[in-house]
Amino acid sequence: MLIRIIAVISGLSLFGCETPQQDESREFVEPQTIQALPEGEGHYTDSRVRQGKYLVELLACGVCHSDGALTGELNPNRLLAGSGTGIAYSNPMLQKNPGVVFPGNLTSDTETGLGAWQDEEIARVIRTGINKHGQRNLSVMPWPGYAKMTDEDAKSIVAYLRSIPAVKHKVPENIRPGKKTRLPYVYFGVYRNKQAM
């Protein structure tokens, strides 16, 4: 069985825009890690907020959820405020125009972020991938790896996200597989070449 790995960055595979084939017109870009997340404040205890910040850094939430981080051009004014660069989630070997998901705004902005969500809804989407509307998120969001997170850790992440400044930043609508887009995206995943089996 032949496994084709597009590119690997701690389990995340990334590529350029329209087709997965490498050529001279495309370059591999290292996503930026988030060196300094915003400091938290608010009505949660300092220790809970610090624990949440630690977990958000450990889980590298900002790599996908901060504008420009996926392309190596981090916008420091949009840390955890969602990404204008999407992540393709359908197999590029089988579909020329992949489905693309745009990581959401995790700040407390009520219009574009999590401000209208209940704490329990945020904790649930982290651990189960089920959003506030009862829909399952795509596995681009690595919720299966967080399924056994403790209640306390989930509450700490929520406390930290609630404590950071709200940033108004509406991310683009997700793109269905087969639909062409001009919006930037990277590839995600490990794909198996069925012809080689």
pLDDT tens digits for 27-78?
666 666 555 566 655 578 899 999 999 999 999 999 999 999 998 899 999 9
Q: Would you say 6 and 190 are in contact if contact means Cβ atoms under 8 Å apart?
A: yes
Both tokens of 193, joined, read 């070449």
CA–CA distances in Å: residue 27 to residues 2, 14, 83, 88, 182? 24, 11, 20, 17, 18
Residue 37, classified by CB atoms within 10 Å of its CB into exposed (0-12), middle (13-18) or buried (19+), is middle
pLDDT tens digits for 131-168?
888 888 776 888 888 999 999 999 999 999 999 999 99
Both tokens of 190, joined, read 């490990």
pTM for the model stands at 0.75
